[in-house]
């Protein structure tokens, strides 16, 4: 399963923005850094549950969240979503529970 997932990620990387995971990045000085280049990442950061389902997907630009962020429960249901610009929440971030009912909303500052 890991081999299939790795092949899928590598094939997407060739045709789209860089795709990063928790295996090839570190959080340092308030930025997400690529382990391979030691530079802030620009692209999509993805984390998966052991069952292969998506856990989190975050867009980064120069090491900071920039764009959509989504996270899911192990069941595949949406857990939270929001929009970021230069590392700051833009608009309203939403957290869900029990099949997409809004648990809380957080407005940007």
How does pLDDT run across 88-102, given as a tens digit for each residue?
A: 999 999 998 866 666
Q: Nearest-5° angle of CA 39, CA 40, CA 45? A: 125
How does pLDDT run across 51-99, given as a tens digit for each residue?
A: 999 999 999 999 999 999 999 999 899 999 999 999 999 999 999 886 6
Better pLDDT: 14 or 75:
75
**Domains of the chain: which residue ranges?**
2-107
State how far the Cα of 82 lies from the Cα of 31, in Å rounded to an integer.
18
Per-residue pLDDT averaged across 3-20, rounded? 42
Asked if pLDDT for residue 3 goes beyond 50, the answer is: no
Closest CA to 93 of 73, 74, 79: 79
Q: What is the pTM of this model?
A: 0.73
State how far the Cα of 54 lies from the Cα of 76, in Å rounded to an integer.
7
């Amino acid at each position: 399963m890991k081999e299939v997932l790795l092949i899928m990620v590598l094939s997407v990387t060739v045709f789209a923005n860089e795709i990063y995971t928790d295996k090839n990045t570190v959080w340092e000085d308030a930025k997400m850094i690529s382990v391979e280049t030691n530079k802030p990442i620009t692209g999509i950061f993805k984390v998966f549950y052991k069952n292969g389902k998506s856990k989190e997907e975050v867009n980064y630009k120069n090491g900071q969240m920039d764009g959509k962020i989504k996270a899911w429960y192990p069941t595949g249901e949406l857990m939270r979503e929001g929009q970021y610009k230069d590392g700051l929440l833009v608009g309203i971030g939403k957290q869900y529970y029990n099949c997409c009912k809004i648990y809380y909303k957080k407005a940007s500052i």
